[in-house]
Structure 1
Amino acid sequence: MKKLLYWVLTVAPIAYMWLIWELSSIPGDPNAPFTFEAVFKDSLHLIEFGILYWMFAFALAVHGKWTAGTSLAIVIVCLSYGAIDEIHQMFTPFRTSTWFDLFKDAVGITVSYIIMRYTYFKSKDSRMYRFFQRLETLDRRN
């Protein structure tokens, strides 16, 4: 069971990036720019890239590579992928690519980074710290 969880967490960020790409490839609906569905999808930028940050955090933790430096590097990776996704949407019919969407991606990533910074890196007594220590025990060599 540990091996399975180890590999799932290892592959999860790449699989999630693929899912984001696939969802961004779906053409938009030109007749419904201000529907509830459109507004809901637009608000997901905050959440989807925050989730990407956490998936990378879990993957790095199971490999024993989670540090303050890798946390900051993952912020840059996630933000870069957000930019790539926005460029990709420029070429998808009836999809928009805006700086505001990239800003929303950045907010989701930054909130996740701040939560990690203050719950993991600042306190070795936190639940987050204990959780990540348990993730490190999933190393496939065990």
Structure 2
Amino acid sequence: MKYVLRLLPVAYMAVIWIMSSLPSNHFVELPDSEIDRFIKESLHLIEFAILYVLLVLAILTRKGEFTARLNILCAVIAGLYGLTDEIHQSFYPYRSASWFDLVKDVTGILVCFYFIQGALFKGRFVRLRDMLGIVRKF
């Protein structure tokens, strides 16, 4: 299980890269274009937050202490990958890249960072801390 958790961030990053290379309507396009756009724009809030959480889970499976610095490093890596993704999208005529998309990416990361930081280092969110502790045992 720990090896699966360690490989998940890399696999997820590959999926992001591939999907960023395709038109936004390649997989799904809803009949109402406004709703379709709203949902796809909202996904920026969770796409890189998921990457951050996967990075945290991967690091929790290794021996050694998970420090606040490692937690920040996970958030920075996820944010930098969000920036890389926006740059990557700018090379495709059927995709768009914007600073606002990057802000949404980072916002999602920061929300998850708040909860994980609170659970692991501030004594808050006990259930989340317990769930992360289970991952630590892998």
- Scaled by the length of structure 2, the TM-score of the pair is 0.86
For structure 2, the 5+ residue unaligned runs are 26-30
Task: Return the alpha-carbon distance in structure 1 between the equivalents of residues 20 and 39 of structure 2.
Answer: 14
Aligned residue in 2 for 1:62: 61
How does 1:1-142 map onto structure 2 within 5 Å? 5-28=1-24, 34-65=33-64, 66-123=66-123, 126-138=126-138
SS of the equivalent of 2:96 reads coil
For structure 1, the 5+ residue unaligned runs are none
Is 2:118–2:124's contact at 8 Å kept on the other side of the alignment?
Answer: no
Is 2:119–2:128's contact at 8 Å kept on the other side of the alignment?
Answer: yes
SS of the equivalent of 1:26 reads coil
CA deviation vs aligned residue, 1:22-51 (integer Å, no higher than 9, x gap): 11111246xx9x532222111100011111
SS of the equivalent of 1:35 reads helix
The letter of the residue matching 1:47 is: I
CA deviation vs aligned residue, 1:64-88 (integer Å, no higher than 9, x gap): 3522110001111111000000000
CA deviation vs aligned residue, 1:119-142 (integer Å, no higher than 9, x gap): 22111882222222221221xxxx
Is 1:53–1:74's contact at 8 Å kept on the other side of the alignment?
Answer: yes
Is 1:27–1:94's contact at 8 Å kept on the other side of the alignment?
Answer: yes
Aligned residues: 131
The letter of the residue matching 1:21 is: W
- Scaled by the length of structure 1, the TM-score of the pair is 0.84
Instruction: Return closer, same or farther for 1:28/1:93 CA change in 2, 3 Å cut-off.
Output: farther
Displacement over 4 Å in runs of 4+ = none
Task: Return the alpha-carbon distance in structure 2 between the equivalents of residues 98 and 125 of structure 1.
Answer: 34
Shift of 1:16: 0.5
Deviates most, 66-75 or 79-88: 66-75
CA deviation vs aligned residue, 1:93-122 (integer Å, no higher than 9, x gap): 211100000000010000010011112211
